[in-house]
Copies of this chain bind each other. A is one copy, B any other.
Amino acid sequence: MSLTIAVDAMGSDCAPQPEVEGAIQAVRQCNVRVLLVGQQDVVSAELARHPEAAGLPIEVVHASETIGMEEKAAQAVKVKRDSSMRVGLRLVKDGTADGFVSAGNTGAAMVTAKLVLGVIAGVDRPALATVFPNSARTATILLDVGANVDCKPQNLQQFAIMGDIYFRSIFAGRFPTASNPRVGLLSVGEEEAKGNELTREALPLIKALPLNFLGNVEGRDLYNGRADVIVCDGFVGNVALKISEGMVGAVRAILKESLQASLIRKIGFLLSRGAFQDFRKRLDYSEYGGAPLLGLRGVAIVSHGSSNGTAIKNAIRVASEFARSGLNQLIEQKIHAAQDRTSAAE
């Protein structure tokens, strides 16, 4: 049976165009129904520019307000009671939709999602998880990439549990390790003594969990496929994500520049263009859909402000897979089990 995903139609930098394109691609490819949430007239006008969308299971739900990229999250959420984010998340809360996708202000999306949906019992902080491509042709999940800049050791322990479950559910059948993901704690060296106060305290907590735990891993392990899930606080994770995005840009610029340097090289570039398209695709986070907020009582996917239609489509696909997987029930069970073990141990 097909699920219903609510999409913040006013979120991305070029909204509502990528959202509308993404919705059309999604309903065609992913067996979903889409509710585009935003200013009725604006969204309908964009939808009308796509005659092929006539008859597709896409509806517009009106929301009078929009939260801008530059607005302070807490403030904007407090003032704008009828924002496209809040309305879209209410659709999930009341069961009208099975999941929510937004390419808008990440901070505001997180605050609103926590406010409207609430967190799973036993989870202290929701975490934003992102999928990174790697040279082993698999993928590595890093969390938290920005929901929590100052973490406690038990937050990292909960992130490990949620990351393990998330990897299993989205990569089951795609990667052999999905049946028993290798979980690592991001640190500055592999020895247990290496790390900062936070990671040194978190290590034994994660070690105590029934996980395939590698112990400390290093920054380089984000790209070599050695770990399936890497746990860190939201400050380090956000820096890691943005450094990677920045480096992809720099690599493209440097390569392009040297490939233009001579006629021979230009010809070479033309002949090998396909390779660069693969390359772009492999390093293009939009191919991996958005980043889920794990630990909420509901499904909320945040995607990049610069998302194109494909990125939105993939985020909608991830939202529907997430909703189908019963992932949140699993998170609740395993978090409780971990807490029972801890209190038993005390």
Contacts and interface: CB of A to CB of B under 8 A. Distances in A.
A243 B246 contact: no
A86 to B, nearest CB: 22
B279 A272 contact: no
A223 B239 contact: no
Given A149-B188, A243-B219, A246-B221, A271 B264 contact: yes
B250 A247 contact: no
A268 interface: yes
Interface stretch (A22-30, A94-102, A251-259): A251-259
A52 interface: no
Looking at chain A's contact residues, is the secondary structure mostly helix, strand, loop, or mixed?
helix
A261 interface: yes
A334 interface: no
A340 interface: no
Given A188-B239, A282-B254, A272 B259 contact: yes
Interface string A233-263: 1111011111111110111011100110110
B195 A235 contact: yes
A188 B268 contact: no
A242 B261 contact: no
Contact of A223 (B249, B262, B278): B249
Given A149-B195, A240-B243, A268-B269, A188 B219 contact: no
Contact of A243 (B222, B234, B251, B258): B222
A270 B186 CA distance: 38
A195 B148 CA distance: 10
Contacts of A221: 246
A275 interface: yes
Given A195-B235, A236-B239, A253 B219 contact: no
A38 interface: no
Contacts of A245: 219-220
A16 interface: no
Interface string A67-93: 000001000000000000000000000
A262 B240 contact: no
Contact of A220 (B218, B246, B283): B246
* Closest CB pairs A-B (n = 4): A268-B271, A268-B272, A219-B242, A220-B246
Given A135-B253, A188-B238, 11 more contacts: A133-B254, A135-B250, A135-B254, A218-B242, A222-B243, A222-B246, A223-B246, A236-B239, A247-B247, A254-B278, A259-B275
30 contacts: A133-B254, A135-B249, A135-B253, A149-B188, A149-B195, A150-B197, A195-B235, A196-B235, A218-B239, A220-B243, A220-B245, A220-B249, A222-B243, A235-B236, A239-B240, A243-B243, A244-B247, A247-B247, A254-B279, A259-B272, A259-B275, A261-B275, A262-B274, A264-B272, A265-B274, A267-B268, A268-B269, A268-B271, A268-B272, A271-B271
Interface of A: 72, 133-135, 146, 149-150, 186-188, 191, 193, 195-197, 199, 218-224, 232-236, 238-247, 249-251, 253-255, 258-259, 261-262, 264-265, 267-276, 278-279, 282-283
